[in-house]
Homo-oligomer: A and B are copies of this chain.
C-alpha cells in the first residue's frame, strides 16, 4: 500500500532547506537568532544601512536602533517601501497583522513584523492544526479534510487539514484552535471539550514567498459520525471524510497543500497506522516531523 521512500521524499519536499546549507545567514537580535536571510535578501537590505547591519556572516538591526518600537517601526517602513516596489511576492498578501518576535515561544518580544514580511526574514512562526476524526461504524477510522476556497490568497482550491491557522499576538494556543474550529468548521463548544493536545511538529520550508520555519501545535478531536462540518468564514469550499484505508490517495494527491502532509503523517504515526512493520523508514519519518528549529536560536560560532 505504501510506496517505499514515498513518505520520506514528501517530508523532504516540506523540509527543503537544510539547516547546514551555506546559502543563507542568520538574522540575529539581542544575541539570539530570530530568522534566516538569503544572500538575495541581504543584497536588498544593504540599501538600508540605517536599519540593518549586513555582514557576510549575519544580519542584525543597526546599532542606532534601540528597543521594540524603534526596530519595529524602521522594519515596517522598509517593508512598506519593498511592498510598493513589488520586489517580494509575499508582500502582495499584506495583512496589517503583526507577529511579535522573541527568543522562544511566549517570551518578551524584541520587535514586531507585518505577517506577510516574515518569510523574507525567515522568521519562526507558530500555528495550530486540528485532526478531526471519526470512528465510523461502517468505514472505520476516518479523517476530515477541507478543500480551501478558490478565493484564498494562498493555495486556493487545494486540499488541507480539517482545521488550521496561524498564532497571532494576544491569543493562546488552545484558544486559537477553538476559534479556528468554530470559524472554519462550525465546531460547537460541546464538541471542543474532547480536543486533545498531542504535541508539536516542526519543519523548515522554502517557497517562492520566502523561508518558513514553522512549529504547529497539534490537536486530535474525535467527532460523532452524525456531525457534519459547516464553514462560517467562506474560506472552505468542500468537506471530505476520508477512511484511513484511502489516506495515501490524499497524502500523495497533487491537490494536497504540500505543508499539510506532515500533519497527516504525524497522525498516522501516533495512531499506529504507519508503523515499523509496514514502513521501514519510520525512524527518519519521525525525525523529519520534528526538525530541530530550536537550533536556530543558538548564536552561530
What residues of chain A have their CB less than 8 Å away from a CB belonging to chain B? 104-107, 126, 172-174, 196-202, 215, 217, 269-272, 275-277, 280-284, 286-294
Contacts and interface: CB of A to CB of B under 8 A. Distances in A.
A289 B282 CA distance: 15
B199 A269 contact: yes
A198 B104 CA distance: 28
Given A104-B281, A276-B105, A200 B290 contact: no
B290 A294 contact: no
A36 to B, nearest CB: 16
A124 to B, nearest CB: 9
Contacts of A199: 269-270, 282, 286
A277 B172 contact: yes
B286 A202 contact: yes
Contacts of A291: 287, 292
Contacts of A290: 286-287, 289-290
Contact of A104 (B107, B173, B174, B280): B280
Contacts of A272: 196-198
A199 to B, nearest CB: 4
A270 B106 contact: no
A212 B67 CA distance: 44
A131 to B, nearest CB: 13
A280 B106 contact: yes
Nearest to A124: B283
Contacts of A276: 105, 173-174, 197, 200, 217
Contacts of A217: 276, 282
Contacts of A294: 283-284, 287-288
6 contacts: A173-B276, A174-B277, A197-B275, A199-B286, A200-B276, A270-B270
B277 A173 contact: yes
A183 to B, nearest CB: 20
B287 A202 contact: yes
Contacts of A196: 271-272
A107 B283 CA distance: 13
Contacts of A293: 283, 287
A278 to B, nearest CB: 10
A20 to B, nearest CB: 8
Contacts of A173: 276-277
Contacts of A288: 292, 294
- A-B interface, 3 closest residue pairs, ranked by CB to CB distance from nearest: A290-B290, A197-B275, A199-B269
Nearest to A201: B286
Contacts of A126: 283
Given A105-B280, A106-B280, 7 more contacts: A107-B280, A126-B283, A173-B276, A197-B275, A198-B269, A284-B294, A291-B292
